[in-house]
């Protein structure tokens, strides 16, 4: 089914058409791609829920004039539903610059202030039917926000419609708003949280009350995993499961121990939202976790978490408690078992950064991994490039041979390359270039390829390297200079044209 055919369906029908056997939508399902919001020519396509997530967690809502929606509400109240829907579609026609989250409070306040003049039954009826009929994302969110003013929990058709919309990360938040006054809302939010993996799960967990042990167990075992960033929910979950008490249990299972470790690891990240610094009794939580670690069988992930805790404590002002925590970390990291675990991980192509931080010999194992599968282990490149020029050339030659340089270097286009058939190769090339900053002459074939790449990302990466070499007065070959001059004549991106004037 082509995009235009999809867009001719109501959004509800499109969702129903894509529900899988497990009762969920596929991870790649994105209503924004199919319904106008991401129809612009921009390569960057945002996942469902991204815009609302950005406003909820990172920035204020947009300034918007809600007055046109007051006229829509008058039409709805007077049962002029078709006119109201048309005006609603006009208001939300540009869904990239107009959003419901920014006007929801103004609209609800206006309704309360004018409730005596409005027909509540007509507003509820219109809003319910819009859930199934509309092809406008924001119009559906607007309708869900109106339903928040009513308790329709006894209306089975409405329950089903909201549950179906909640399967889509773009609507989960507003479905939660819609059931705000329902007596069983927490049970429904729990159900919603389990059936989404993206922003919808983040939104649902933030509003889920840990009323039962089943909810707490799910939050730790499954809820902390999402397809956006696990860190968004880490602090919420830590507080809701009462991590300070749970981690004291000397009889916890190994599975619970590992899930606690993952949660603590996410808290230690301290981004993109508040983490362990905002956790009450954080030193006690860390201490109890380390005591549990001494009682458990640890694998490479567990030792990485323990090392990350040590790094976190090193960044704090010393006090007796933190000195004690450092001792606990050290006692676990200097064991024979830890050393054997790291050595075994290295043999299996894992644990390199812990080995490096523990000052263990990792070089041969890392080099072996890269030789076996250069692209799979591209993240190890920085660990194997050293002062040995011959070695470095041999390593980089592996990538020169395996990357489709002729397909990448087809001349400049004004695209980043997201979604392109070569997108992975484009990303890999830029990743390799980032390792060439202090190594003039290394990887020149890759550098020249990047200067001729169709991707603006590659060309920018190449200029970053050359700029670094130039600023450090490192030698730049005739071949690279020639490719640079050629690019000046054919560059199509305005920002890169401006940048090239400095070369």
Are 115 and 144 members of one domain? Answer: yes
pLDDT value, residue 62? 81
| 9: in domain | yes
| CA atoms in the 13 A half-sphere facing the CB of 414 | 9
Look up residue 485 and give its two tokens. 């001059």
Last residue of a domain, one of 172, 201, 230: 201
> Does residue 168 sit within a domain?
yes
Same domain for 232 and 135, yes or no, is no
Last residue of a domain, one of 201, 224, 248: 201
Q: Is residue 349 part of a domain?
A: no
* Domain assignment of residue 142, yes or no: yes
Domain assignment present for 144: yes
- Take residue 58 and report the two structure tokens written for it: 């990172």
**Residue 5: what pLDDT?**
44
Work out the burial of residue 127: count CB atoms within 10 Å of its CB; fewer than 13 is exposed, 13-18 middle, 19 or more buried.
buried
Does residue 93 share a domain with residue 125?
yes
Domain presence at residue 373: no
Listing DSSP states for 221-275 in one string gives IIIT--SS-THHHHHHHHHHTTHHHHTT-TT--HHHHHHHHHHHHHHHT--SS--
Model confidence, pTM: 0.91
pLDDT at position 43 is: 55
Check whether residue 174 and residue 123 sit in a common domain: yes
Domain boundary among the residues 201, 236, 257 is at: 201
Examine the domain organization and report whether 425 and 492 are in the same domain.
Answer: yes
Which residues neighbour 168 within 8 Å (Cβ) at sequence distance 6 or greater? Answer: 15, 25, 29, 31, 48, 196, 200
The domain tally of the chain equals 3
Distance between first and last Cα of the chain:
48
Q: Do residues 175 and 238 share a domain?
A: no
State the residue range of the domain holding 265. 215-329
Q: Which two tokens stand for residue 136?
A: 């406008």
Whether residue 369 is contained in a domain is answered as: no
Residues 189 and 222 in one domain: no
The answer to the question of residue 54 being in a domain is yes
Q: Are residues 228 and 171 in the same domain?
A: no
- Are residue 231 and residue 184 in the same domain, yes or no? no
Residues 189 and 219 in one domain: no
Same domain, 48 and 151: yes
Which residues of the chain carry a pLDDT beneath 70? 1-7, 36-44, 94-96
Task: Based on the fold, state whether residues 130 and 79 are members of the same structural domain.
Answer: yes
**pLDDT recorded at residue 45:** 73
pLDDT at residue 230, rounded to an integer: 98
């Amino acid at each position: 089914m082509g995009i235009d055919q999809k867009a001719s369906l109501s959004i509800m029908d499109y969702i129903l058409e894509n529900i899988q056997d497990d009762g969920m939508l596929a991870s790649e399902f994105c209503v924004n791609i199919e319904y106008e919001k991401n129809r612009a020519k921009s390569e960057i396509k945002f996942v469902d829920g991204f815009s609302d997530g950005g406003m909820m967690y990172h920035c204020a809502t947009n300034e918007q004039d809600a007055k046109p929606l007051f006229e829509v509400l008058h039409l709805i109240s007077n049962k002029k539903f078709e006119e109201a829907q048309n005006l609603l579609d006009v208001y939300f026609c540009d869904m990239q610059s107009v959003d419901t989250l920014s006007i929801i409070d103004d609209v609800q306040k206006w309704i309360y202030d004018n409730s005596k003049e409005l027909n509540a039954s007509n507003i509820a009826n219109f809003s319910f039917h819009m859930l199934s009929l509309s092809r406008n994302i924001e119009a559906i969110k607007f309708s869900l926000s109106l339903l928040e003013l009513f308790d329709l929990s006894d209306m089975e058709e409405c329950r089903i419609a909201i549950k179906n919309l909640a399967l889509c990360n773009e609507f989960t938040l507003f479905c939660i708003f819609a059931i705000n006054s329902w007596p069983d809302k927490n049970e429904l939010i729990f159900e919603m949280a389990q059936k989404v993996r993206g922003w919808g799960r983040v939104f649902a967990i933030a509003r889920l009350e840990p009323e039962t042990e089943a909810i707490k167990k799910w939050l730790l075992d499954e809820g902390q995993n999402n397809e956006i960033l696990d860190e968004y929910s880490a602090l919420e979950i830590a507080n809701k499961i009462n991590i300070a008490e749970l981690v004291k249990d000397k009889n916890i299972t190994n599975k619970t121990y590992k899930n606690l470790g993952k949660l603590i690891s996410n808290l230690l990240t301290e981004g993109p939202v508040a983490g362990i610094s905002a956790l009450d009794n954080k030193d006690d939580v860390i201490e109890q976790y380390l005591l549990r670690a001494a009682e458990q069988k640890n694998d490479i992930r567990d030792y990485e978490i323990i090392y990350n805790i040590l790094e976190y404590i090193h960044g704090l002002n010393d006090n007796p408690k933190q000195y004690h925590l450092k001792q606990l970390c050290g006692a676990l990291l200097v064991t024979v078992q830890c050393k054997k675990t790291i050595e075994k991980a290295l043999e299996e192509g894992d644990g390199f950064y812990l080995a490096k931080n523990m000052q263990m010999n990792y070089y041969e194992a890392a080099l072996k991994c890269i030789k076996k599968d250069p692209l799979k282990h591209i993240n190890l490149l920085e660990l194997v490039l050293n002062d040995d020029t011959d070695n470095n050339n041999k390593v980089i030659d592996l990538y020169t041979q395996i990357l489709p340089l002729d397909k990448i270097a087809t001349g400049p286009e004004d695209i980043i390359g997201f979604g392109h058939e070569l997108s992975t190769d484009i990303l890999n090339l830029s990743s390799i270039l980032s390792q060439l900053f202090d190594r003039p002459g290394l990887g020149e074939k890759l550098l020249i390829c990047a200067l001729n790449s169709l991707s603006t990302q590659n060309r920018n990466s190449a200029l970053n390297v050359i700029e670094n070499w130039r600023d450090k007065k490192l030698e730049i070959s005739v071949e690279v200079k020639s490719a640079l001059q050629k690019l000046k004549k054919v560059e199509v991106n305005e920002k890169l044209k401006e940048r090239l004037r400095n070369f």
